[in-house]
Structure 1
Amino acid sequence: MSLDHAEDFVKRLEPTEDAFLGGRLAVLQPAKGFRAGLDSVLLGAAVGAGKGRLLDLGAGVGTASLVAMHHNSSLSALLAERDEAILPLTHKNLARNGFSTRAEAICVDVCARGRDRQAAGLEPDAFSRVIANPPFFDEAAGTRAGAARADARHMAAEALDLWVRAAATCAAAGGEIVFIYPAAGLVPLISAFDQRFGAICLLPLSPRPEADATRILVRARKGSRAPLRMLTPRYLHAREGRAFMPEFEAIFRGEARLDW
């Protein structure tokens, strides 16, 4: 599915280096295992404009944060990743793309106890924006991905609530929370959001007109009481061909953020 892979927009330069945003970002990634793709670009491009401090939960090598900071020169970021083996690449990506003075990466488990997260550097009520692309648990699927990808892409169903709880704890009053998630997992995600946030806004993303949505962007505000909104689905491609719709073409080239 094009949300995960698109040769025209995620070009392999070397076995461990990819160009994003039309070459504006060069991102080192593990040669095997989970690799950031267009989901990460969409998540970073979905962050609202304005100055503030961003928290990226489960940041991996940092692609979503890099995209968000590319679009917003007044944004700083803290990247939280539990895999110590990944963090050297995350630090390198911040430096080689010119963001080392605006961002840092720390080792912390999003699902850890609150006091342990805080001791690791995740301050409560401190971030104007919190983003995440959590691992996905599909009870109907029956099997999980191979070992190289499973840790980054799958988790127990109850852990999703812990991710949302961590976002709620770390977000400042009025803070924006944005998750991207497979559409099949929308019910538990919305349940977790509805317990903690208001102004929930859902944007379904579909490969083509008349095709089912495969991804959902979810945005909310901490402390808001505004009702839930479901936006009109958006399509990455026209009915025929591989070209992206102009809106997404501009996003993947780094020329525009997501307007929603």
Structure 2
Amino acid sequence: MPEAVATTEDGFLGGRLRLRQPVAGHRAGHDAILLAAATPARAGDRVVEFGAGVGTAGLALGRRVAGLDLVMAELAPGLAGLAEHNASANGIAARVIVLDVAAGAAAYAAAGLAPDSADVVLMNPPFNDPARHRGSPDTVRRIAHVASPTTLDCWVHAARRVLRSGGTLSLIWRADGLADVLEALRRGFGDIRIIAVHGRAREPAIRILVQAVKGSRAPLQICEPLILNGDDGKPTSRAQAVMGGEQILPGPPVSA
């Protein structure tokens, strides 16, 4: 296990997933678990996580679906080392690679990620707007959180290259960036499903979870939103089930 930085061991999925992560810098939270819950996969699927960090989303998915061919790609070697440790400590088979999502096709091929080779890609790209969000002085945290103008297009392009036809992309993004997500998915993806995540009912959404299928021409669907907290400030029963790994997303499509 890497010892270069101080770490904590934290429980996710009701304690069924134990992860080592840095005390300071980028730390896993709700977004990664929501992303895993919104990622469809079956045993035998080749699943690739971009920007894996310490492996939270990929390993949460691996805890839910046994028998995945799971590859977790992370730019920061220290975080990649922790992801490798976390996979082993939780008994989840996974291959961790150090890779910049923005790298070219040759770098992907050298890392064993050939075009049209994945059934599923899941990703939590940096999404904070640098014009409205002060970046952290911690370099790894800043890279993980703050987007450049080309981040989303770059990550979606990489997913499109790696996914086979009919493969699924799952991602999480700021709710106010929905138009940007739809534009990025315009070329090459269809059957788009959108789940809005609200802190409380009657408040604006704070996140969107998006599924899209490479090569599909099926229409877009707006799915049942996820409300994290009730009026009393306590987690809703559905949010608890999702965060505990007991329920997947999305719900059924919203009726017209």
Q: Determine if the TM-score, normalized by the shorter chain, exceeds 0.5.
A: yes
Q: Within 1, Cα distance between the matches of 2:250 and 2:191? A: 17
Residue 66 of structure 1, aligned match among 56, 59, 82:
59
Q: CA RMSD in A?
A: 1.6
Q: Which amino acid aligns with 2:102?
A: C
Aligned to 1:250: 241
Q: Which runs of 5+ in 1 are unaligned?
A: 1-13
Give the percent of matched residue pairs that are identical in Structure 1 and Structure 2.
39
Residue 108 of structure 1, aligned match among 99, 113, 118:
99
| TM-score, with length taken from structure 1 | 0.89
Aligned to 1:88: 81
Partner secondary structure for residue 86 of structure 1: helix
Q: Which amino acid aligns with 1:31?
A: V
Q: Within 2, Cα distance between the matches of 1:138 and 1:184? A: 10
Q: Which amino acid aligns with 1:84?
A: P
Residue 48 of structure 2, aligned match among 30, 39, 55:
55
Tell me if structure 2 keeps the 8 A contact 1:71–1:257. no
Partner secondary structure for residue 34 of structure 2: helix
Aligned to 2:187: 195
Tell me if structure 2 keeps the 8 A contact 1:137–1:185. no
Tell me if structure 2 keeps the 8 A contact 1:205–1:233. yes
Partner secondary structure for residue 78 of structure 2: coil
Q: Within 2, Cα distance between the matches of 1:15 and 1:182? A: 28
Residue 129 of structure 2, aligned match among 113, 135, 138:
138
Residue 248 of structure 1: CA displacement? 1.5
Residue 21 of structure 1: CA displacement? 0.7
Q: Which runs of 5+ in 2 are unaligned?
A: 1-5, 252-256
> Could you list the runs of 4 or more consecutive aligned residues of structure 1 that deviate by over 6 angstroms after TM superposition?
none
Residue 153 of structure 1, aligned match among 145, 156, 175:
145
| TM-score, with length taken from structure 2 | 0.90
Correspondence 1:167 to 2:159: yes
Q: Within 1, Cα distance between the matches of 2:32 and 2:210? A: 14
CA deviations 1:67-124 (Å, max 9, x no partner) are: 111111132210011111211111100000001xx31100110011122222223221
Q: Within 1, Cα distance between the matches of 2:133 and 2:37? A: 33
Aligned to 1:177: 169
Q: Within 2, Cα distance between the matches of 1:49 and 1:143? A: 36
Tell me if structure 2 keeps the 8 A contact 1:43–1:133. yes
Partner secondary structure for residue 16 of structure 1: strand
Tell me if structure 1 keeps the 8 A contact 2:129–2:147. no
